[in-house]
Amino acid sequence: MLKYLAKRIGRSILTLFIIVTLVFCLLRLMPVEGYFANYEKMTEAQIQAGLQSMGLLDPLPVQIGRFWVNTLHGDLGVSHIYKVNASVTGILAKKLPISIQMGVYAMLLSLVIGIPMGLFMGRFKSRWPDKIGTAIIVLIQAVPAAVYYLYIQMYGTTALNVGLLFDASNWKYWVLPVCSMSLGNVAFYAMWLRRYMVDESNKDYVRLARAKGVSENNIALRHIFRNAMVPLVQYIPSAFLNTVVGSIYIESLYSIPGMGGLLVTCVQRHDNTMVQGIVLLYACVGIIGLILGDLLMVLIDPRISFGKKEGGR
């Protein structure tokens, strides 16, 4: 277990280094406007002097080495366009907590609804709970998310008597965005849990349990559900972390000052330093999610051993 974890962390660090370094190099091919807030008013001499002071005229390997040394000391540079001369680390530190809080609430809600929904659908296959659940999943996945997000906002703000500008101090303002963010994961968990439960219900150990006279409820909860959760549980950390950093449309819709839309805004405004910092954060989030997913599988099912060759992903 520890040996596998050490190897996995080592590969993850290498992957992170390659991703961020590649993005760093690609950004150096972008126009230099992204490093100056008043680029149009500057002379060529001023531009060159500014690039020299930022070290952007140094050889690329020197720039990469300086970037990683500063990153290891917690310095991701400063924003040149999004918020002039503000620390990238400081900007992310202000926006990330509210997105994490929103993501935690959305994930808890999706688990509380999605897991029991998938359990009932798998337990009562082809009966009315399964048919109702299937209709809900099809509705969520077939209709463009932007459509039902707008309907939720349109009718939800009236029902809760809240405004369009987000107020973190009032719990009512959290209800609509959290519900909206949880819908995709609700459908995902319910759909895949049902599928895994149906697959498990056709296996020999289930037939043997029925032959021994074990009740259907015990078979569903103690055997089928437990084994069906093993392949599903590895996606929970990734889904949570992606919810935290990926709620672009919802946070824009409710004017939530979180991470949503920050990368798009910085790319559009050519703030290269901010893009570097955000890509680094997103890459870390994805890698951590995969590692936590593997560890969670081991905790759920002790039969899985990463000490064997087939245990890794």
Query: Domain containing 164 — which CATH number?
Result: 1.10.3720.10
Mean pLDDT split into 10-residue runs, the chain, 313 residues: 77 87 85 78 85 86 90 87 87 86 87 91 87 91 87 89 84 90 89 87 84 82 80 75 69 81 80 86 80 74 58 44
Which residues, listed in sequence order, are joined to residue 87 by a DSSP beta bridge?
78
**Total domains, the chain:** 1
- 292 in any annotated domain: no
- 13 in any annotated domain: no
- 154 in any annotated domain: yes
The HSE-up count of residue 54 (CA atoms within 13 Å, CB side) is 20
pLDDT at 132: 92
pLDDT at 255: 82
- 2 in any annotated domain: no
pLDDT at 258: 81
Contact of 224 with 206, CB cutoff 8 Å: yes
| Alpha-carbon span 85 to 139, nearest angstrom | 46
| Alpha-carbon span 11 to 33, nearest angstrom | 35
| Alpha-carbon span 72 to 31, nearest angstrom | 27
Domain span including residue 189: 93-263
58 phi/psi in degrees, rounded to 5: -75, 160
- 116 in any annotated domain: yes
pLDDT at 52: 87
Q: State pTM to two decimals.
A: 0.76
- 259 in any annotated domain: yes
| Alpha-carbon span 149 to 99, nearest angstrom | 18
Query: Which residue matches tokens 């060529």?
Result: 44
- 59 in any annotated domain: no
- 158 in any annotated domain: yes
Q: Which two tokens stand for residue 107?
A: 């994930």
